């Protein structure tokens, strides 16, 4: 994004998503499409426009992250199904929201990945929202502590997966969530 003029960011991201993921992303036994709805939401959703207006550096990082949509979908965990909040015209019947940790350049974030399910059963990557600055190294250290406290008869792979789920499910309290913009300023964003 550094080489692309700001006026061309959205077009560049849309073209890249269209070219890089024409057949979606295979995740487990599912294919998650990245279609026109996905591209529009990831670049122009209400959340994206708010980021652009209030936190343009995080918006730029969100757009940079789309280049690794496949990795984001594969790394996301702890999905929770959600009912629709309003009638839809795009044939999406329900959503699932998962957690993911992202490193974009030197910046670490915790974010939510939203996957939509269409009436025909097809899945689409809908958006990545809720970017919260974090410190992945700190989380890794916490994960190591959790790993050492697990039962020894559990396999290493299962322990790692369980630990990541435990860490990824920790939510910041509302006071911290409401002040993350101040943290951004302190961290030089």
pLDDT along the chain (189 residues), means of 10: 83 96 95 96 96 96 96 96 86 94 94 95 96 84 50 40 36 38 42
Structural domain boundaries, residue 142: 136-186
1 lies in some domain: no
Q: In 77-179, where does DSSP find H-type helix?
A: 136-149, 156-168, 174-178
> Looking only at Cα atoms, what is the longest distance across the chain?
55
> pTM of this prediction?
0.72
| Whether residues 56 and 104 fall in one domain | yes
111 lies in some domain: yes
| Whether residues 127 and 145 fall in one domain | no
Contact 115, 35 (CB under 8 A): no
Split into its structural domains, the chain has a count of: 2
Q: Which two tokens stand for residue 6?
A: 């700001």
62 lies in some domain: yes
First to last CA, the chain: 16
109 lies in some domain: yes
**pLDDT value of residue 72:** 96
Helix (H, G, I), strand (E, B) or coil at 44: helix
User: Do the bridges between strand 30-33 and strand 123-133 make them parallel or antiparallel, or are there none, so unpaired?
Assistant: parallel
């Amino acid at each position: 994004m550094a080489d692309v003029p700001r006026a061309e960011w959205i077009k560049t991201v849309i073209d890249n998503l269209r070219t890089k993921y024409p057949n979606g992303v295979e995740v487990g036994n599912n294919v998650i499409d990245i279609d026109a709805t996905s591209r529009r939401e990831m670049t122009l959703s209400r959340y994206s426009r708010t980021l652009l207006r209030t936190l343009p550096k995080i918006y730029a990082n969100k757009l940079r992250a789309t280049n690794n949509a496949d990795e984001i979908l594969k790394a996301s965990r702890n999905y929770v199904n959600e009912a629709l909040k309003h009638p839809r015209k795009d044939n999406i019947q329900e959503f699932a929201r998962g957690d993911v940790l992202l490193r974009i350049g030197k910046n670490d974030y915790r974010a939510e990945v939203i996957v939509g399910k269409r009436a025909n059963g097809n899945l689409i990557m809908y958006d990545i929202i809720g970017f919260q600055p974090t410190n992945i190294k700190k989380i890794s250290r916490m994960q190591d502590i959790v790993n050492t406290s697990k039962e020894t008869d559990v396999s290493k792979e299962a322990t790692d997966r369980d630990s990541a789920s435990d860490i990824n499910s920790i939510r910041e309290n509302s006071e911290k969530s409401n002040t993350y913009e101040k943290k951004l300023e302190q961290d030089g964003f």
